[in-house]
C-alpha cells in the first residue's frame, strides 16, 4: 500500500512536471513566433519588395480589436500572493485566449501582423487607432474629481 501511494504521488508529480514543461514549450514557441514576425516585418520594411497578401487576412477593424485586447492583457500582472489557480495562468495562456475569443488561429494572426507591419505608414494608422481606443478605455476608469456637496 505504501509503495503504491508513493508511486501514484510520483506519477502525479511527473504529470505536473510534464504539464508545466508543455506550457513552457508553448510559451517559448509563441514568443518565438512573435519575435520572428517582428524581425520579418522589420526586415521587410527595409527592402522595397512587397509582402504577398495572405490568403486568410484579418480585417483591419478586427485586427485593431485583437491588438487592443493583447495590449490590455500585457498590463495584467499576476502577483505572487494571488490564489494558486491564478498562478498557473501564463502570459501565453492569455495571448491564446484572445485569439480563441476571436476564433483566429495563431498562424493567421502572425501572417496578418507581418503583412500589415510591412506597410509602415498604414501600420502607423492602425497603431494610432489602437492607442486611441486604449486612451478612451483609460479615461473611463480614471478616478473622477470629487464633488463637494457641503459636507467636509
For the segment 139-150, what is each residue's pLDDT rounded down to a tens digit?
887 776 666 676
Query: What's the rounded Cα separation, in Å, for the pair 132 and 122?
Result: 15
Do 86 and 78 form a contact (C-beta atoms < 8 A)?
Answer: yes
Query: What's the rounded Cα separation, in Å, for the pair 54 and 14?
Result: 41
- Please give the biggest Cα pair distance in the chain: 74
Do 119 and 52 form a contact (C-beta atoms < 8 A)?
Answer: no
In terms of Cα–Cα distance, which of 35, 51, 68 is closest to 135?
A: 68
Q: What is the pLDDT of residues 25-81, one digit of tens each?
A: 666 666 666 666 666 666 555 555 577 889 999 999 999 999 999 988 887 755 556
Amino acid at each position: 500500500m505504501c509503495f503504491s501511494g508513493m508511486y501514484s504521488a510520483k506519477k502525479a508529480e511527473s504529470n505536473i512536471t510534464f504539464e508545466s514543461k508543455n506550457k513552457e514549450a508553448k510559451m517559448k514557441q509563441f514568443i518565438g513566433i512573435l519575435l520572428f514576425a517582428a524581425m520579418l516585418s522589420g526586415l521587410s520594411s527595409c527592402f522595397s519588395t512587397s509582402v504577398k497578401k495572405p490568403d486568410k487576412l484579418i480585417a483591419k477593424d478586427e485586427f485593431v480589436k485583437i491588438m487592443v485586447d493583447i495590449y490590455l492583457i500585457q498590463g495584467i500582472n499576476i502577483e505572487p500572493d494571488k490564489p494558486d489557480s491564478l498562478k498557473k495562468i501564463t502570459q501565453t495562456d492569455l495571448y491564446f485566449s484572445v485569439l480563441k475569443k476571436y476564433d483566429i488561429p495563431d498562424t493567421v494572426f502572425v501572417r496578418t501582423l507581418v503583412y500589415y507591419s510591412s506597410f509602415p505608414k498604414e501600420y502607423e494608422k492602425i497603431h494610432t487607432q489602437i492607442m486611441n481606443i486604449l486612451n478612451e478605455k483609460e479615461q473611463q476608469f480614471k478616478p473622477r474629481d470629487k464633488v463637494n456637496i457641503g459636507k467636509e
